[in-house]
Structure 1
Amino acid sequence: MDPRAERKQKKKKKSGVRTKFMIESLRKDYYALRDENDRLREIVQNNLPKDVADGILADCFDLTSPSAKITSVDDIDAKMQGMGIDEGDEDED
Structure 2
Amino acid sequence: MQAGQDVRILDLKESAGAALLLLTGDFWVVESQHVALVRYDQDNVHRGEVAADDTAATGYIAAAEMAWAMATPFTSWYESHPEYRRQQLVA
The TM-score normalised by the length of structure 2 is: 0.30
Compare relative contact order (CA 8 Å, sep 6+) and give the higher one, 1 or 2: 1
TM-score, normalised to structure 1, is 0.29
* Bigger share in strand: 2
Greater helix percent: which structure? 1
